Structure 1
Amino acid sequence: MGGVAATTPSAPAIAAARAVDAAKLEIVTAKGRPAFEIEIVDTDESRAEGLMFRKQMAPDHGMLFDFRREQPVWFWMKNTYLPLDMIFARADGSIVSIATDAVPLSEDTISSGGSVRFVLEVNAGTAARLGLAPGDRLVHPRIPAAR
Structure 2
Amino acid sequence: MPAQAGILLFRPTIAPMKNALVLAAALLAGAGVAAQEPQTDLPRVRLSAGMHQIDAQVAHTPDQRATGLMYRKQMPQNEGMLFAFEEPGVQCFWMKNTLLPLTAAFVADDGEIVNLADMKPQTTDGHCSKRPVRYVLEMNQGWFAKRNIKAGFRLAGEPFRR
Q: TM-score range by the shorter chain?
A: 0.7 to 0.9
Query: May I ask how many residue pairs the two structures share in their alignment?
Result: 131
In the TM superposition, what whole-angstrom CA distance separates every residue of 1:49-107 from its partner, at most 9, and x where no partner exists?
A: 1001111100010000011221101100000000001001111111100012x100000
TM-aligned CA deviation for residue 44 of structure 1: 0.8
TM-aligned CA deviation for residue 10 of structure 1: 2.8
Q: Are the equivalent residues in 1 in contact too, given 2:39–2:69 (CA < 8 A)?
A: no
Equivalent residue in structure 2 for 1:15, among 38, 54, 60: 38
The TM-score normalised by the length of structure 1 is: 0.83
TM-aligned CA deviation for residue 137 of structure 1: 1.1
Detail structure 1 runs of 4+ shifted over 6 Å in the superposition: none
Aligned-residue CA RMSD (Å):
1.5
Equivalent residue in structure 1 for 2:77, among 56, 59, 66: 59
Bigger CA radius of gyration = 2
TM-aligned CA deviation for residue 139 of structure 1: 1.2
User: Is 2:147 the counterpart of 1:130?
Assistant: yes
Q: Are the equivalent residues in 2 in contact too, given 1:11–1:53 (CA < 8 A)?
A: no
Q: Are the equivalent residues in 2 in contact too, given 1:19–1:39 (CA < 8 A)?
A: yes
**Unaligned segments of structure 1, at least 5 residues:** 1-8
TM-aligned CA deviation for residue 20 of structure 1: 5.0
Q: Are the equivalent residues in 2 in contact too, given 1:91–1:118 (CA < 8 A)?
A: yes
Instruction: Give the AA of the match of 2:152.
Output: G
Instruction: Give the AA of the match of 1:18.
Output: D
TM-aligned CA deviation for residue 134 of structure 1: 1.2
* Structure with greater proportional helix content: 2
Instruction: Give the AA of the match of 2:82.
Output: L
Structure showing greater relative contact order (alpha-carbon pairs closer than 8 Å, 6 or more residues apart): 1
SS at match of 2:158: coil
- 1:71 alignment counterpart: 89
Equivalent residue in structure 2 for 1:25, among 44, 47, 53: 47
TM-aligned CA deviation for residue 144 of structure 1: 2.4
* Structure with greater proportional strand content: 1
Instruction: Give the AA of the match of 2:122.
Output: L
In the TM superposition, what whole-angstrom CA distance separates every residue of 1:10-36 from its partner, at most 9, and x where no partner exists?
A: 354441412452x411113xxxx2111
Whole-angstrom distance in 2 between the partners of 1:97 and 1:65: 15
